[in-house]
Structure 1
Amino acid sequence: MYKINFITFGCKVNHYETECMKSLFREASYEITEELTEADAVIINSCTVTSSGDSRALAALRKTRAALPDAVIAMTGCYPQANREEAAKLSEADIIAGTKSRAHIVELVGDCLENRTRIVELSDYSAEDIFEPLKCTRFDSNTRAFVKIQDGCNQFCSYCMIPFARGRCRSKPVDVLREEIRAIAENGVKEIVLSGINLAFYGREWGLDLADAAELCAETEGIERIRLGSLEPEMMSEELLRRLKALPQFCPQFHLSLQSGCERTLKAMNRKYTAEEYLALTERIRSIFPDCSFTTDVMVGFPQETDDDHAESVEFIRRIGFAKVHVFRYSRRKGTRADKMDGQVPESVKTLRWQEMTAAADETREKYLSSLVGKTVPVLFERENSTEFHRGYAPDYTLIKISRKNPEKSLRNRIISVIIEEYGHDCCIGSAVPAPPSTFRS
């Protein structure tokens, strides 16, 4: 029996696809090993959103080859798909496959193990491509499952390589999704996180939308929570929000991709909304979900961004009051429009702006966490932290800890009401209460 190890970089979609590949290898009688030195084969599932993502994947490839000179190593994912010529030259990899070959990955690895012939399988996306037939019902965590229901992007933001790495928007068929969710529930998973590259475009080719996928999950026995991945703000209609509100299982945490709070920068990025439209959306969502939280991604140092532009973006972050912000520096990507723009911002300036934006994000997070003190929320517990705490998440995706008085007792995969008594740097701390879980809504 061959042993195989997986190294995954990037977003939740990538991690879902790794779990799907694990399922394929298990079905083919491979043993999944967490110990790299035991592996006969290694799959590196790469990310190419930023240049640092490329660097991490390539460093992992070199390190793995040095540690396992005789193993079969496959480089898959977004990096080889978006950088086909460079990827094909990676001598450390025995298999180069992008984002189109996962359904055949077992066959590719098997051929390479038997014949020791190098394989490069890369091809362009076309408008006729359909959703890749991958599914997963077994996850390393048995409390929450990330389920990919959408792939590709039609937006072509000026800084982004993803349309080249993932192709155009396409959706998982409803019947396939129904079968997958049912199997996941039968394995004891209580929370589904619907994920995609451009999730809010789900089902558009069939006249459906994201609410149809959420409603399907809600109809599945055993699913007690439904959460959404990253969303494009311009696709969140009033009807969609009202349909989500009608689902008792829906968790009102909205990760609305922002990128910048500056009007001028948003236009240069080719984003499809203005800052004022984004603000109006958050106000509308709050009117429907009074206890919701907002999280987001923000970029600093975009080409031609001035100090005033940056200050406008920082102030916008404070104005929204995000529960959490992922702040990152603009990264030049060859082949994008932004890479050719004049006015590239020096790295030293990017670093200063990152520090300022991060400080503002920390302020809004502390303010949000402090607002939760005194509330009682239902918490889905996932794991223990040593012998000190039980850890889980409220519907708004706040990390909640309660004292683990009995180290032998686990609350894993249970939903328990917790009264929040204090907050820390990145979590809230409370005590379990005997009352049944609330809906976390006013």
Structure 2
Amino acid sequence: MKAAFYTLGCKVNQYETQIMEQRLKEAGYEIVPPDSFADVYIVNSCTVTAESDRKTRQILRRLKSHNPDAITVLSGCFPQSAVERASKMEEADIIAGTKERAEIVNLIDERLKTGKRIVSVSSYNRHEAFEPMRAESFYGRTRAFVKIEDGCESYCSYCIIPKARGPVRSKPPEDIKTELQGLSEKGYKEAVLVGIDLSSYGKDCGLSLVDALKAACSTDIQRIRLGSLEPNVITEEFVETVIALKKVCPHFHLSLQSGCAATLKRMNRRYTPERYKEAVELLRERIPSCAITTDIIVGFPGETEEEFNESLRFAREIGFSQAHVFPYSKREGTRAAKMPGQISKAEKARRGHIMAEECRKSRAKFLESHVGKTYPVLFEAGENGGFEGFTPDYVPVKVNTEKDLHGKIVDTKITGWNADGCFGTVE
């Protein structure tokens, strides 16, 4: 039997797909690419935006066209947050929520035996533990993504994720150590710690993200990189820990969403632009070589031209190493979807273009600052005699060489840059 996966959304979803792939392989399935003929197609869905839901249905139809007799599975955040709407997708033979990952093989077996359509979406409980899971490999990658936290209790007004993921649950430090040590023994040099609300790690068990970092850095993994963080996690203790541990990459993705205090309040974000700036200044003061990346939403309901310009000025002042700019996407079931002052699609696109252009300027300055310097780059496999990898501060670097650099950390001199990243040479 052959099975294929298509993953939408964040790095947490990528990690969870890997876990499901492992379970199917253990059951005797051969994992094939999603554009191949397969007996089972599994779409691990995202539900951050309404566009995500539309894309999920489109992908299910496309995969089914490869083999009309295949079993199609819709799993993940979309059915967990909107089981009734997901159940109406006739393209899916099995509907499984985010809690059903461990049962994926059993659900497929049940479908094979009975031929009946299955809807299996369980609710979350307040005090349940982190689901035991351990990734063993990430095919074709030299960096491993390791989920250490699940759930979110922030309830941003535009976000449906708390409904899709339940309350905060944290992976025990000993389990983090065991998983990372196993990945190190298989040759992985870098691990990226990810979570739905990574900054809330330990909230459920009297720990903090500092405890997770200490556990991760006690293994033989050479680099630890952090996923998306909230600015409030950046404290003196946190920064001192990062400096002392040495393995933590100097790259911090701090979610901004808006540089306007009034907009942040409507978003129900738990910080102000002033607090955000304090976090950035602390990082840059103590770790001068660090990269600060972010996400920015434009066109949030009620955002006036003045508020947008305030956010634009803030982005210019911070000077991000990289920023992902998104037009606000109306998500049914959230408070923001019912807010007055919804912005037109054209206006959101205009503001998005202006914000993205401002962030491209600061990105260019950041990349240019690397030219002439030497950085340790962890290389992935490349094509046509070239290799691609990342510096500790998350700059993509390309080199042309006949040497086999795959999976190696090699000192690389940066000789130039373009919009896609830097390029350099190795000795």
User: TM-score scaled to structure 1, two decimals?
Assistant: 0.94
Pairwise CA distance, 1:142:
4.1
8 Å CA contact 2:77–2:165 kept in 1: the answer is yes
Partner Cα distance (1:341, 1:208) in 2: 36
Q: After superposition, what is the alpha-carbon deviation per residue over 1:251-278, rounded to whole angstroms, capped at 9, x for unaligned?
A: 0100000001111101110000001110
Structure 1 residue 422: deviation in Å? 1.4
Q: In the alignment, does 2:420 pair up with 1:426?
A: yes
Between the aligned partners of 1:36 and 1:109, the Cα distance in structure 2 is 20
Give distance in 2, aligned partners of 1:294 and 1:382. 23
Report matched runs for 1:1-150 at 5 Å: 2-34=1-33, 36-150=35-149
Report deviation, 1:228. 0.1
Whether the 8 Å CA contact 2:6–2:34 is kept in 1: the answer is: no
Q: 2:394 aligns with which of 394, 397, 411?
A: 397
Rounded to whole Å, the distance in 2 between the matches of 1:209 and 1:65 is: 44
Residue identity opposite 2:77 in structure 1: C
Cα distance, 1:35 vs structure 2: 5.3
Return the letter of the residue paired with 1:111: E
- Cα contact 2:225–2:249 (8 A) shared by 1: yes
TM superposition shift of 1:211: 2.0
- Distance in 2, Cα, partners of 1:36 & 1:379: 32
Deviation at 1:38, TM superposition (A): 2.1
Q: How does 1:193-204 map to 2 (within 5 A)?
A: 193-204=192-203
Could you list the per-position Cα deviations for residues 280-315 of structure 1 after superposition, in whole angstroms to 9, with x for gaps in the alignment?
A: 110001111110001110001100101111111111
Q: Secondary structure at the match of 2:92?
A: coil
Equivalent-residue separation in structure 1 for 2:406 and 2:28 (angstroms): 29
* Separation in 1, partners of 2:27, 2:343: 50
State the match for 2:407 in structure 1.
413
Deviations 1:99-119 (A, max 9, x none): 110011111012112321211
Whichever residue aligns with residue 168 of structure 1, its letter is P
Distance 2:235 2:204 in 1: 17
Separation in 2 of the partners of 1:139 and 1:33?
Answer: 14
Indicate the larger mover: 240-249 or 339-348.
240-249
1:100 alignment partner, SS class: helix
Taking the TM superposition and a 5 Å limit, the aligned residue runs for 1:37-436 are 37-221=36-220, 223-387=221-385, 389-404=386-401, 406=402, 409-433=403-427
Distance in 1 (alpha carbons) for counterparts of 2:342 and 2:78: 23
SS of the aligned residue for 1:326 comes to strand
Higher mean C-alpha deviation, range 160-169 or range 86-95 = 86-95
Residue type matched to 1:325 in 2?
A
Letter in 1 for 2:294: T
Amino acid at match of 1:200: S
The alpha carbon displacement at 1:141 in A equals: 3.1
1:180 alignment partner AA: E
Distance 1:410 1:51 in 2: 43
Q: Shift of the alpha carbon at 1:66?
A: 3.2
CA RMSD, 1 decimal: 1.2
SS in 1 for 2:410: strand
Structure 1 segments unaligned to the other structure (5+ residues)? 434-442
Partner deviation per Cα, 1:153-209 (whole Å, 9 max, x = no partner)? 010000000001101111012232222112111111110100000001112222221
Query: For the Cα contact (< 8 Å) 2:34–2:63, is it kept in 1?
Result: no
User: How far did 1:128 drift?
Assistant: 2.3
For 2:396, give the aligned amino acid: L
Asked if 2 retains the 8 angstrom alpha-carbon contact of 1:46 and 1:57, the reply is yes
Partner amino acid for 1:412? Answer: H
Aligned-pair CA distance for 1:374: 1.9
In the alignment, the residues of structure 2 paired with residue 337 and residue 204 of structure 1 have an alpha-carbon distance, to the nearest angstrom, of 25
Count of residues paired in the alignment: 427
Is the contact between residue 190 and residue 222 of structure 2 (CA under 8 Å) also seen in structure 1? yes
Deviates more, 1:162-171 or 1:117-126: 117-126
Does the 8 Å contact 1:200/1:236 carry over to 2? Answer: no
Query: Retained in 2: the 8 A contact 1:303–1:341?
Result: yes
Bigger drift between 274-283 and 50-59 goes to 50-59
**Partner of 2:184: helix, strand, or coil?**
helix
Q: Tell me which stretches of 4 or more aligned residues in structure 1 moved more than 3 Å.
A: none
Aligned partners of 1:411 and 1:106: how far apart in 2?
37
